[in-house]
Amino acid sequence: MSTREAVAITGWKQKQAWDKRALPPVEEVRPGLWSIPVPMGSNPLRYSYAYAFVAADALVVVDPGWPASESFEALAGGLAAAGRSPADVTGILVTHAHHDHFGLVDRLREASGAWVAMNSLDAELQILEGDDFAAILDARREWLGRCGADTEDALTHGSDLEIIKRSAVRTRCDRHLEDGERIRVGRFDIQAIWTPGHSPGHMVFHERTQRILLSGDHVLPRITPNISAFVGGQSNCLRSYLESLRKIRKLEVTEVLPGHGYRFSGLPSRVDAIRSHHERRLVEISDVIGVDECATPWDISARLTWSRPWSSITAFSRRAAVGETLAHLHLLQARGGVQLVDDGATWRWSRISPSGGRP
């Protein structure tokens, strides 16, 4: 495949469903590989995709989806279209431990007794039943304060605590996936590839014989995934993400099967577009930090260009935006463009002049 091939939609039924605000159909995208849309309630992304590798003696599901009864019914319906049921599942592969991809693992494992596999770094991020939920909320509150937020505005305490509780699972993964590990499901030869950035242990799955990539949230066709420096996350997650993009760009892939959106071709071009987006964002962030100014991540975020005005962005989305701004600041710092001024209570950033000092 030419590295100059433009990005092209291959999942036209998926794209048409998105435009109509409808749930896409279940599709057999390759013989024995099924794409199953799983609804996500009121989430703006609407649904994620579970994928099922079907063989005579095995059924492996990738990213079963959002933890709700409606979601489980959709997953079960998709498996039924493939001639199987949740009880037939032998294994569950997880690209990353975010709720919209991992949330149904408990229920699917209860139905089947399947093994669960993900990278160890994401396994450590799981919120388990019995964890101190109030302590998790306190850590988020402290992080927001360090970012310069008014935590009373940035946290909706009751609903945030409920979201943390709903994120809790009973299931610990059985297998920790290593970078380059191979998983055989019938005739499918799947290679797990470590792609940190969106989460520390994010994995993509490359089916080498079919030349397809199950990309999770690492590469999406329509939007860029949130790359955020959150509580307990990677010290420079954006640098890791850009390196991960470079890593997968060279794979022999004719079609990408993402976690959201629609299938597409032209992986190198999409990778290049995402990398360019982040380079432009780095320039924008550097520009909005005024001369002789020390600005907090929260203040910087409020001045940036988003898909809608900052005043209309919800508290949850503002936290995601600030986490992404902080990730860009960390990379700018590593490149020598900004410096951190830490007074012990708040992080503030100033621009470094080409001569090596503050402007």
**15 and 97 fall within a common domain:** yes
End-to-end CA gap in the chain: 47
**Two tokens at 89?**
């599942």
pTM reported for the whole predicted model: 0.93
Overall number of domains in the chain: 3
**289 and 226 fall within a common domain:** no
Whether pLDDT at 359 is above 60 = no
**115 and 225 fall within a common domain:** yes
State how far the Cα of 151 lies from the Cα of 138, in Å rounded to an integer: 10
Domain enclosing residue 243, as ranges: 8-126+169-277
**Residue keyed to tokens 């890593």:** 247
CATH number at residue 68: 3.60.15.10
Cα-Cα-Cα-Cα dihedral of 252, 57, 65, 269, to 10°? 10
On whether residue 84 sits in a domain, the answer given is yes
**pLDDT tens across 283-293, in order?**
999 999 976 67
Whether pLDDT at 202 is above 50 = yes
On whether residue 73 sits in a domain, the answer given is yes
Query: Which of 251, 277, 303 is the last residue before a domain boundary?
Result: 277
**99 and 185 fall within a common domain:** yes
**94 and 177 fall within a common domain:** yes
Residue 1: pLDDT band with limits 50, 70, 90: very low
**290 and 257 fall within a common domain:** no
Angle of helix 105-112 relative to helix 69-81, nearest 10 degrees, comes to: 50
Whether pLDDT at 137 is above 50 = yes
**175 and 151 fall within a common domain:** no
Query: Which of 277, 297, 315 is the last residue before a domain boundary?
Result: 277
**181 and 97 fall within a common domain:** yes
